[in-house]
Structure 1
Amino acid sequence: MQEPAYPSEHAYSASMVYNQDSGTTPGVTTGGGFRSDKLRGQLISVGERFIGFDKTIEDEAVRRKQVSEKRFGDLTESLVRLEKAMNAEIKRRVEANKTLQQLTEKMANQMFERLQQKVHHQLQKIAVAIDALLHRCSALENGLSQIKGDIPSKLSSDVANMRKQAEDLRSAWEAERKQREERDAHLLKRLSEIEFSTDAKFETEMRLMEEQLELVRREIEGLARIDSSVEEQFRGFTLEELSALKNGLALCTQSREQADDEIVQSINHYTNVLHKCLRGANTR
């Protein structure tokens, strides 16, 4: 801001100093009424007041400039701290998301491996039992085929029924195995969709936060060049933008917490389903 061009202290002093050689004051005629000591004293007093006024105006201008620079510096420092805090929060969120994703994948893989091991063990036991039953049925059929009379005929019928039951058991076991595989595939697909949705939400929130920060930075850089006469308007606008930014950060934090809750609920749901499958497999 350009300060008013007031006369300097030396200019007032030079204009009001009494001329010792001529006994007159510059700009004043040598009439008898204007030579009086009273008039000279009044003129000197007026000059001293102008000198003090000039000094006051200059000090006030310097003070206002210092206050304006200090306010702008404080605002810039606050913006830098806010930007650092946002960068730190973004980095922490990224690390937390990576850690959560790794932990989720590890838990899912461990549960799936344990489930596969138990199911495979149960299937092996069932297969061994069915093979033993078929072997016994075949041996019994071969033994009975050597016996003549009514008893062999009845035994043959019983063996046929047992063989049919064994075949039905094998068919039911195959159908259950296929159904379990389809259910496991559906659970894995659902978990992948949840992870993809979480990553997409996080990237969208990151992009919105960066756009808001860039918009506020541009506005502050433009307002820094405004004349000091609109300082109050600049301060109000800046406070309003900072308030909007804080509200945006609060909404973003709330959205992230909601997304984290959804992830935790999905993991719990998947865990419960796996436990139910394990209990069903152990029961069989």
Structure 2
Amino acid sequence: MFESQLLQVQEKLSQVFVDKFEQLQCGVDALNERISLVEKEFLIERDKQNRDSEDKHSQINADLAALQHAFETDKSSRQERELQLAKRLGDLEYRTEGKFEAEKNAREQKIEQLREELEEAKRIRERGEEKFQTFILEEVAALKNGLILESQAREGADDDIVQAVNHYTTALQDALRLVSTA
């Protein structure tokens, strides 16, 4: 009789342990599914952010190449204009050599005027190049700042995801401790 009661108690305890174990297993399975889902979403988000970053980097490179091309084109056209002015000045000097003294004086004044125009054109060109270079440097700095901010935002999002995974892991460990102490 005592043995039969002992067997009944043992069967009840076994059944309680099996039920608790099944409940715990269901909870662990649910947490595993949630963790898998979080990991998948994390990978998708990270890939998306990487693609976005690469797209922005490509766009910046294309913009920079376009600015460089425009700068080189402008520089080339200015050099061509300077060559044309220099040629014009040379032609005027050549024609004035054989003229009378009065014409020579008048031509020398014209040459001096053209030299001043050339110098003024050079000064204007140099000021324009300085402004253009300053503009390019400001644009590049703004683009770099944008990349830095995007990178920091991405790192913050990554940190938030890692913190969420750590929180779920801690909660799972607490649940396991509660079940094992019960």
One-letter code aligned to 1:138? G
Distance in 2 between residues matched to 1:114 and 1:223, nearest whole Å: 59
Once the 2 structures are TM-superposed, how far is the Cα of residue 164 of structure 1 from its aligned partner? 0.9
Structure 1's unaligned 5+ residue stretches are 1-6, 12-53, 231-284
Distance in 1 between residues matched to 2:153 and 2:67, nearest whole Å: 31
Q: Does 1:177 align with 2:129?
A: yes
| TM-score, reference length from structure 2 | 0.79
One-letter code aligned to 2:172? I
Once the 2 structures are TM-superposed, how far is the Cα of residue 226 of structure 1 from its aligned partner? 2.6
Once the 2 structures are TM-superposed, how far is the Cα of residue 175 of structure 1 from its aligned partner? 1.7
Distance in 2 between residues matched to 1:95 and 1:219, nearest whole Å: 28
From 60, 65, 70, the counterpart of 1:113: 65
Q: Does 1:76 align with 2:76?
A: no
In the TM superposition, structure 1's runs of 4+ consecutive aligned residues that sit over 6 Å from their partners are 58-61
Matched with 2:138 is 186
Structure 2's unaligned 5+ residue stretches are none
Q: Does 1:213 align with 2:165?
A: yes
Distance in 2 between residues matched to 1:94 and 1:213, nearest whole Å: 15
Question: Aligned pair in 2 of structure 1 residues 75, 227: CA closer, same or farther (>3 Å)?
Answer: closer
Larger gyration radius, structure 1 or structure 2: 1
From 151, 161, 168, the counterpart of 2:113: 161
SS at match of 2:94: helix
| TM-score, reference length from structure 1 | 0.54
CA RMSD of aligned residues (A): 3.0
Matched with 1:223 is 175
Matched with 1:93 is 45
Aligned length: 179
Once the 2 structures are TM-superposed, how far is the Cα of residue 67 of structure 1 from its aligned partner? 4.8
Distance in 1 between residues matched to 2:65 and 2:107, nearest whole Å: 45
Distance in 1 between residues matched to 2:179 and 2:21, nearest whole Å: 13
Matched with 2:100 is 148
One-letter code aligned to 1:185? L
Distance in 2 between residues matched to 1:188 and 1:101, nearest whole Å: 16
SS at match of 2:91: helix
From 43, 49, 54, the counterpart of 1:102: 54
Distance in 2 between residues matched to 1:144 and 1:98, nearest whole Å: 69
SS at match of 1:146: coil
Question: Aligned pair in 2 of structure 1 residues 226, 77: CA closer, same or farther (>3 Å)?
Answer: same
Distance in 2 between residues matched to 1:75 and 1:135, nearest whole Å: 89
| 8 Å Cα contact 2:96-2:107 kept in structure 1 | yes
Distance in 2 between residues matched to 1:215 and 1:115, nearest whole Å: 48
From 129, 132, 153, the counterpart of 1:201: 153
More helix by share: 2
Question: Aligned pair in 2 of structure 1 residues 227, 98: CA closer, same or farther (>3 Å)?
Answer: closer
